[in-house]
Chain A
Amino acid sequence: MKRALLVTLLAAGGCKSGTLNSGEWGKLRYFGELSGVAPVLDTDDDLQLPLELIPPVSDRSGNVYVLHERSTNDSVVYVGEALGGWSRGCPPQENPLPHRAAGEAHVHGFLGTSEDMAWFWAGDALVQVSGATGECKQVLDKDPLTLTDLRVVAALPYVHETPARRTLNAWVQGSNDAQSRNPPYQVVVDLDLRRYVSYAPFEPAEATCVDVLGVGANAEHEEGVVVVAYNLDGARVAEARKINPEGMTTDRITLELGDTDPFVCDARDAEDTPEPKILGQLQANDAGIYAGLLSNGQLLSFHTGGGSAKDLPNFDVQGMVKQDGALWVTGTADGRPVAGEVIGAGMVSSVIRWKASERAAANLQGSVEILDERYSPAEPVRWTNPVTAIGSWPFVTPHPLDVYAIETTGWLIAGPSFESIETRTAVAFGPVGMTVP
């Protein structure tokens, strides 16, 4: 009897299992051929464009979302159903943002997921995509009252979800105002109603030449953040603004980004914004320190007391990753993946080798079994030496990584390429165990 009771107690305690080890890949799911070649195989000599992909995300039901930026300056989102099968890819028909600089990303990133839905910001559109059907729609295409064509110039990557509603903060403006770089409106978007439910004008109202440099969020603090630069009283001001789920600006942090001379932004002037843009999204550690990579190769970090752009440590910085409340800057040194923790008020500690990234890359060597899910029934195929389809090493990206499961994220790998009108590459999704460093 004692033995039976002990077995029962152990069983009731829940023997939890089923997660992946660091660097171990789960089932790899081949969903399509996308235009471009794997970034690590792209050379300056060839005429091929690299695959423009960001890390995939998953929703609560287990559906997987893959967002691809096409060479035609638009995007396509693919949905992998939790229990097998993929959507054919949905283009949300967005337009590029006005004043987009050459080389600047068109896809700004995923904003959040819910039970069976995901939202992303691409071009001038806030887009929802259904995990159940694969259908995608622009959420704020037109002003519901004036029918003005709206441009989403910032969408904050934090979806506030309660049993009753799902909301998100964004900055929007009419297409003419966007062209003139006039101040945008700060709105709370009801993602279920697909319209904004409150709005506030930009402050200060006399600001001109307003440019959004990037966005980020700290879900633990239930806040989003937008980094903006504008002219005011004959000077250029750069700020990070924290916004709560009610759409209130709770903090304005002055940033030092270099030159403070005012920017002349004639609507017909094609000159690029003087400030560097944020690559991917800003992320925050448990201490409330935000950090992100800038397009000029610097690191931007800030906290409530202020912030500035800093020169990067002595390695090739390419990404940011957050795990267990700590924020790490990632990249390569001597051709190997490394990571350095963001400490103090935004300094980066000495870097160490990122073995999980190395293991994940090593586990793709040789003949790898892939489940071809492009058609039903799904069939296993084999790829020889597939490589990461994002960045130079697995997990190295300036976009936040999805918490797919405990110490597991989702990633994309590239298989064989095909020549047609343009080079297309077979791409597969796979869950992979990840630890930092």
Chain B
Amino acid sequence: MMSLFFAAVSALTCTANAESKGVILRTHGYVAPQFQAVWRPEARPVDQSRVGMTKSKAGLIFKGHVSPKWGFKIHFVLGQDTFSALTKASPIDEDNDGTTDSVYTESKDALGNMVVESTVLYKPVDELHLKLGRMRIPFTSQAQSPNTDLLFPERSGPNETFLSGSDMGALAKTSLLDDRIQGSVGVFNGTSTNIFKTERQGILYTGRIDINPLGAFGFSETSEWAGPLLIGVGSGAIYNPYTAYDSAGYATVSVKDTRYSLSGRASFYGLYVVGEFLTRQQLDSMSSRPEWGSGWYGQAGWHLPLGLEPMFRMGESTVDESFDPQTTRWIDLGLNYYPALKAKRKDQVKVTLHYLSEDRVDEDERARGLSTRVQVSW
């Protein structure tokens, strides 16, 4: 499967741009093999060390327009969302007493959702874009950064705790005063909030505003190599009311899940700094037990001569604050090396050396790891 995908990627790189019958199609992509070794000294022996290339990814992006106002974008990722799928399960009666003592299972690695984005774009005027389909919800600053433009190989832990993956929905985006003010509002299914396990129905509403008073300031975390001071502040909100139903199909509980984010960013001649604060509250009509969570992270990277970029990130999140708080703390250190500075984009080849640590403070368990990654994008 992986080799087929790479073959397709190779074939398409030969025709990165194509134009026929009025359709302008641009193909982008990336391949990012990653070696990672993680140690968890307090875990079971089988979990104490994990060494391998399990975090490797490859992505392919098709982007095009069929008219000045209508366009599309499809982004596939292989390797991002894999899981162990149950392929066989049989009851075991070890002592032949007619009862099941254990269950024998077999499982295989399977691909989860390969589609990060699959959207139709409509641009009636320059200041307004409409997107329909599957996309990442622009709740945080980092959620708006493309996969290839992240400082570290993965988004921060707090960001993924509060919202991960992509979702189906519709989003209206506006950009005013030469991108000094950017805003978006949208409605989504709510599947990326990780709360839809059983019979639940609802709509997720989202909104975000970013203000860049000194000029346009994109969300790429690695592309600000030079230039004057840029700053940006932003805030996002998610409101997700939904109703849960029992197995007979009757409504049992109405739930209101609200999340906020607040971000600040700055770049100055190669130095890029970003920090975000996130919070969540979920209330329901049954339990009188609110679910509160909060988190933050800050990260910085600095482009130095010879294509070197040292980087640092720290973050913390606490969930279940109203009854049994569980805090997780992350510290990441690393160095990016850009060996192809003369390429069309300086970051088209990126070699990353990354030290990662995760501390489950309340559970007293630690994980430490090292990873190296080579990312080639086109």
Footprint of B on A, CB under 8 Å? 8-9, 11-20, 26-27, 29, 58, 60, 62, 82-85, 147, 161-165, 222, 376-378, 403-406, 408, 431
Residues of A within 8 A of B235 (CB): 8, 11-12
Find out whether the CB atom of A84 lies under 8 angstroms from the CB atom of B363: no
Complex Cα distance A13/B323, Å?
19
Complex Cα distance A13/B294, Å?
9
* B85 close to chain A: CB less than 8 A: no
Complex Cα distance A20/B289, Å?
8
Quick one: closest A residue to B46, CB to CB?
A: A164
* B171 close to chain A: CB less than 8 A: no
What 3 A-B pairs come out closest when comparing CB atoms?
Answer: A84-B252, A26-B288, A18-B290
Find out whether the CB atom of B323 lies under 8 angstroms from the CB atom of A405: yes
* B281 close to chain A: CB less than 8 A: yes
User: Known contacts A161-B363, A376-B250, A403-B324: does B289 contact A12 (CB below 8 Å)?
Assistant: no
Residues of A within 8 A of B285 (CB): 27
Find out whether the CB atom of B292 lies under 8 angstroms from the CB atom of A16: yes
Instruction: Flag B33-46 by CB within 8 Å of A: 1 or 0 each.
Output: 00000001011100
Residues of B within 8 A of A82 (CB): 286-287
* 14 additional contacts (CB under 8 A) given A12-B277, A12-B279, A18-B289: A8-B209, A8-B235, A12-B260, A14-B280, A17-B290, A26-B287, A83-B252, A162-B364, A162-B365, A163-B363, A164-B43, A164-B47, A165-B43, A377-B248
Find out whether the CB atom of A403 lies under 8 angstroms from the CB atom of B323: yes
Complex Cα distance A165/B281, Å?
28
Find out whether the CB atom of B260 lies under 8 angstroms from the CB atom of A84: no
Distance in Å: Cβ of B198 to nearest Cβ of chain A: 8
Task: List B residues 104-131 near A (Cβ within 8 Å).
Answer: none
Neighbour of A19 across the interface among B250, B261, B322, B365, CB < 8 A: B322
Complex Cα distance A9/B323, Å?
25
Which interface residue of A15, A19, A162 has the most chain B CB atoms within 10 A? A162
Footprint of A on B, CB under 8 Å? 40, 42-44, 47, 95, 198, 209, 235, 237, 244, 246-248, 250-253, 255, 260-262, 277, 279-281, 283-290, 292, 294, 320-324, 360, 363-365
23 A-B pairs with C-beta separation under 8 A: A9-B262, A11-B235, A12-B262, A12-B277, A14-B292, A15-B281, A16-B321, A18-B288, A58-B289, A60-B324, A62-B289, A82-B287, A83-B244, A84-B252, A85-B247, A162-B43, A162-B363, A164-B43, A376-B247, A404-B323, A405-B289, A408-B288, A431-B287
Find out whether the CB atom of A62 lies under 8 angstroms from the CB atom of B287: yes
User: Known contacts A8-B235, A84-B246, A376-B247: does B43 contact A431 (CB below 8 Å)?
Assistant: no
Quick one: closest B residue to A64, CB to CB?
A: B287
Find out whether the CB atom of A376 lies under 8 angstroms from the CB atom of B246: yes
Quick one: closest B residue to A84, CB to CB?
A: B252
Residues of B within 8 A of A26 (CB): 287-288
Quick one: closest B residue to A433, CB to CB?
A: B288
Residues of B within 8 A of A405 (CB): 288-290, 322-323
Residues of B within 8 A of A147 (CB): 95
Find out whether the CB atom of A19 lies under 8 angstroms from the CB atom of B324: no
User: Known contacts A18-B283, A376-B250, A406-B322: does B42 contact A8 (CB below 8 Å)?
Assistant: no
Distance in Å: Cβ of A217 to nearest Cβ of chain B: 15
Quick one: closest B residue to A59, CB to CB?
A: B324
Distance in Å: Cβ of B338 to nearest Cβ of chain A: 35
Complex Cα distance A29/B47, Å?
41
Residues of B within 8 A of A83 (CB): 198, 244, 246, 252-253, 255, 284, 286
Residues of A within 8 A of B363 (CB): 161-163
Neighbour of A14 across the interface among B40, B260, B323, CB < 8 A: B260
Neighbour of B237 across the interface among A11, A163, A431, CB < 8 A: A11
User: Known contacts A26-B287, A405-B323: does B253 contact A163 (CB below 8 Å)?
Assistant: no
Find out whether the CB atom of B246 lies under 8 angstroms from the CB atom of A85: yes
Complex Cα distance A164/B44, Å?
6
Neighbour of B290 across the interface among A8, A16, A58, CB < 8 A: A16
Distance in Å: Cβ of B225 to nearest Cβ of chain A: 30
Complex Cα distance A83/B282, Å?
13
Distance in Å: Cβ of A306 to nearest Cβ of chain B: 29
Distance in Å: Cβ of B356 to nearest Cβ of chain A: 15
Find out whether the CB atom of B40 lies under 8 angstroms from the CB atom of A27: no
Residues of A within 8 A of B95 (CB): 147
Residues of A within 8 A of B209 (CB): 8
Distance in Å: Cβ of B368 to nearest Cβ of chain A: 14
User: Known contacts A222-B364, A376-B247: does B281 contact A84 (CB below 8 Å)?
Assistant: no
Find out whether the CB atom of A85 lies under 8 angstroms from the CB atom of B324: no
Residues of B within 8 A of A165 (CB): 43-44
Residues of B within 8 A of A20 (CB): 288
Complex Cα distance A418/B363, Å?
46
Quick one: closest A residue to B248, CB to CB?
A: A376
Find out whether the CB atom of B244 lies under 8 angstroms from the CB atom of A84: yes
Find out whether the CB atom of A14 lies under 8 angstroms from the CB atom of B252: no
Complex Cα distance A376/B253, Å?
13
Quick one: closest B residue to A85, CB to CB?
A: B246
Quick one: closest B residue to A194, CB to CB?
A: B102
Complex Cα distance A310/B95, Å?
51
Quick one: closest B residue to A164, CB to CB?
A: B43
Quick one: closest B residue to A13, CB to CB?
A: B279
User: Known contacts A26-B288, A404-B323, A405-B288: does B360 contact A12 (CB below 8 Å)?
Assistant: no
Find out whether the CB atom of A85 lies under 8 angstroms from the CB atom of B252: yes
Complex Cα distance A404/B323, Å?
6
Find out whether the CB atom of B261 lies under 8 angstroms from the CB atom of A18: no
Quick one: closest A residue to B237, CB to CB?
A: A11
Complex Cα distance A203/B284, Å?
51
Find out whether the CB atom of A163 lies under 8 angstroms from the CB atom of B288: no
Distance in Å: Cβ of A137 to nearest Cβ of chain B: 11
Residues of B within 8 A of A404 (CB): 289, 323
Residues of A within 8 A of B248 (CB): 376-377
Neighbour of A17 across the interface among B253, B260, B283, B324, CB < 8 A: B283
Quick one: closest A residue to B282, CB to CB?
A: A18
Distance in Å: Cβ of B259 to nearest Cβ of chain A: 10
Residues of B within 8 A of A164 (CB): 40, 42-44, 47, 365
Complex Cα distance A16/B251, Å?
26
Complex Cα distance A84/B280, Å?
23
Distance in Å: Cβ of B199 to nearest Cβ of chain A: 9
User: Known contacts A62-B287, A406-B322, A408-B288: does B40 contact A17 (CB below 8 Å)?
Assistant: no
Which interface residue of B40, B198, B284, B285 has the most chain A CB atoms within 10 A? B284
Complex Cα distance A16/B244, Å?
23
Residues of B within 8 A of A8 (CB): 209, 235, 262
Complex Cα distance A69/B279, Å?
42
Distance in Å: Cβ of A214 to nearest Cβ of chain B: 25
Complex Cα distance A406/B260, Å?
22
Distance in Å: Cβ of B183 to nearest Cβ of chain A: 11
Complex Cα distance A118/B363, Å?
17
Distance in Å: Cβ of B286 to nearest Cβ of chain A: 5
Residues of A within 8 A of B198 (CB): 83
Complex Cα distance A161/B289, Å?
22
User: Known contacts A376-B247, A405-B322: does B288 contact A27 (CB below 8 Å)?
Assistant: yes
Quick one: closest B residue to A18, CB to CB?
A: B290
Find out whether the CB atom of A406 lies under 8 angstroms from the CB atom of B323: yes
Distance in Å: Cβ of A231 to nearest Cβ of chain B: 38
Residues of B within 8 A of A378 (CB): 250, 252
Residues of A within 8 A of B250 (CB): 376-378
